[in-house]
Amino acid sequence: MLTPLASPRFLALAGTVALWASAFPAIRVGVDGLGLAALSFLRLSVASIALVAVAPFAGVRLPHRRDLPLIALCGLTGMTAYQVLLNWGEIHVEAGTASLLIAAAPVFSVLLAGAFLAEPLTRNVVIGSVVAVAGTAVVTLADGLSGFTAAALVVLAAAVVQGTYHFATKPLLLRCTGLEVATYAMVAGTVFALPLLPATIRATAHAPTDALLSAVFLGLLPSALGFVIWGYAVAHLPLAASTAALYLVPPVTLVVSFVWLGEVPHVIELAGGAITVAGVVLINRRRSGVPQDGRDLTPRTAAADR
């Protein structure tokens, strides 16, 4: 008999955390050998092929025509722009630091929802947003003013577009499952990334094997499999439990980055990351007690599409 922590739903949740945490160091390996354009296109295209292949077996329906503009926005922000910006930033920013900065994405999501979807900005949301932004400032300035680099700003821009993606998915999730939205957005993002194809062809001709394997790993596992098992976990667990587990992504990223890349985070970065996560936790407390119908399988943290 399986213990609760060994049940498929908890294993799926643990697998999601591990996959999305491992994406940050894998990006460092891939972008060093392929460059940001090729890594972005390869990851998106591999993930799209995998998700489209799984779609018939997972009950993924074709999108409605009325949803195409929102799907395009989701693909452009949460997939194409996010991949390009994050890959660009990780050329100079360590994987663990990037994960701590990306953790602020929910702040931008809830602020956009408050501005355009009339969602109430409660006291928890306002205080949590201020706390999370303060945490990202601490992470960014861990090395003093010299640490406030263009690369750190690029990673923060990736957090902004990721927050925009979560905001744009909200109307879609009223009619579609999280896996459907992820599949639609991934395919749309790949289409928007087609201008990167010539650079991808040139880069892959002489790319090292570890970089190519990293691109395939990122597309198949964190992007494709990550969404599938995340959807399974959320469908079988309370939303509070699944969302809380995703707060583990930044610390797990730090561990994986240390083992894989030898990256050692600054104590100040760790403190800033803890402050950021605390702010996001406070923001998400506004959803306690809200009934869920099980269809919203997109995380309310920054862990989507690592």
Segment-wise mean pLDDT, segments of 10 residues, the chain, 306 residues = 68 91 97 97 98 95 96 97 96 90 83 78 84 83 62 91 89 91 96 98 96 98 91 75 76 92 88 87 63 42 52
Return the amino acid letter for 69. Answer: P
State the pTM of this model: 0.86
Return the CA Rg of the chain.
18
Return the amino acid letter for 49. Answer: I
CA atoms within 13 A on the CB side of 299: 32
How many CB atoms neighbour CB 8 within 10 A?
12
How many CB atoms neighbour CB 195 within 10 A?
10
**Exposed, middle or buried: residue 3 (CB in 10 Å: 0-12, 13-18, 19+)?**
exposed
Q: How far apart are the first and last CA of the chain?
A: 33
Q: Please tell me the predicted confidence (pLDDT) of residue 147.
A: 53
Q: Please tell me the predicted confidence (pLDDT) of residue 276.
A: 86
Q: Please tell me the predicted confidence (pLDDT) of residue 77.
A: 96
- Length of the chain equals 306
Return the amino acid letter for 168. Answer: A
d(CA 145, CA 224): 38
Cβ contact 131:272 at 8 Å: no
- Nearest by Cα to 68 from 227, 224, 163, 187: 187
Q: Please tell me the predicted confidence (pLDDT) of residue 306.
A: 61
Q: Phi and psi dihedrals of 286, rounded to 5? A: -65, -20
d(CA 256, CA 181): 29
Q: Please tell me the predicted confidence (pLDDT) of residue 281.
A: 83
Cβ contact 199:35 at 8 Å: yes
Buried b (16+ CB within 10 A) or exposed e, 265-292: beeebbebbbbbbbbbbbbbebeeeeee
